[in-house]
Amino acid sequence: MHPAYSVILFTTASGAGYGLLALLGVLAPAGFVPTEFWLGFCGLFLALGLISAGLLSSAAHLGRPERAWRAFSQWRSSWLSREGVLAVATYIPSILFAAGWVFLGRTDGWIAFAGLLASVGAVLTVCATGMIYASLKPIPRWRSRYTLPVYLLMALMTGLSLLMVLLQFSGQAHTVLIVAAVATTLSCWIVKRLAWRNGDAAAFPVTANSATGLAEGAVRSIEWPHSEQNYLLKEMGYQIARKHAERLRLIAQFLAFMLPMALFCLALLAPNTALLALPLATALQLAGVLVERWLFFAEATHTVALYYG
């Protein structure tokens, strides 16, 4: 499919924002993260800022953004609608949690409950986003058991990276979080490679033979169904050369997984380098996720492409 930059930005920014929000909502009330004013202000401002920027960019992708509100009515059958409902609903406990932490300096009692609700809402929203693509039968590469785990792991991975940077600048670095970031990044890398392998082997649910009922022989069109480029061919039949895809996969793996893990390990072994290593690892990781998200859309081929040969 034709990669839409607004959707790429949405999935990257909102994923990192929801990952950071989910971690803050659980770790702060548990006492694992200090309840300092600047940490709460910067952390929740960054999380909600990334989420809002992602949602606004996704709305800009719509043909008629002013009608986006109508999508909320289809929550019974549409994962896109459920994502919108969950995203809006998550703002309520998130704002209450932010207000309690920043203005009252507390993360206990009802504030802890609001943080837990915000975490649950963040996870459910990421799940709904992943299911938008995992539920699409006409795109075999997305209709995979790996699509949802990749979305969840990438949100956790980038959220952890952002949290470590915030803690490092506040002088509250946690060795346990760095170890968790290494484990999460490695897990995400493994699952993403499995997703690529599964996608490369995925077959269309229908073929020209099954569509025409001709079981034997190679069915092919003797005339093109079009005389020039059209919307479906441009958006649904977009193709990327295999050699370019392989090169971009390597770039995504180096930026999102290999180099960040090396920098995380460097921060563990030489804590005096953490102030430089952790922000660099986070920046590289987000850049790698952008490349991976572009490939996620560019490599997906819609079944309608069969009609166009």
Angle at 34 between CA 96 and CA 120, to 5 degrees: 45
Q: What pLDDT does 235 receive?
A: 61
Q: What pLDDT does 34 receive?
A: 87
Q: What pLDDT does 285 receive?
A: 97
Please give the average per-residue pLDDT across 265-288, as a whole number.
94
pLDDT (tens digit per residue) in 171-222: 777 889 999 999 999 999 999 999 999 988 876 667 767 666 676 667 776 6
pLDDT (tens digit per residue) in 70-114: 667 777 888 988 998 999 999 999 999 999 999 998 899 999 999
d(CA 184, CA 257): 10
Please give the average per-residue pLDDT across 152-160, as a whole number.
97
d(CA 17, CA 258): 22
Total Cβ atoms within 10 A of residue 97: 28
Q: What pLDDT does 301 receive?
A: 78
Residues with Cβ within 8 Å of 307's Cβ and at least 6 positions away in sequence, in order, are 225
Q: What pLDDT does 64 receive?
A: 65
Model confidence at 50: pLDDT above 90: yes
Model confidence at 68: pLDDT above 70: no
Where are the domains positioned within the chain? 5-209+228-308
Tell me which amino acid residue 26 is.
Answer: V
pTM of structure = 0.90
- Cα 168 to Cα 88, 184, 215, 273, 279, distances in angstroms: 31, 19, 63, 11, 9
| pLDDT, mean over the chain | 87
CATH number of 5-209+228-308: 1.20.1630.10
Q: What pLDDT does 146 receive?
A: 95
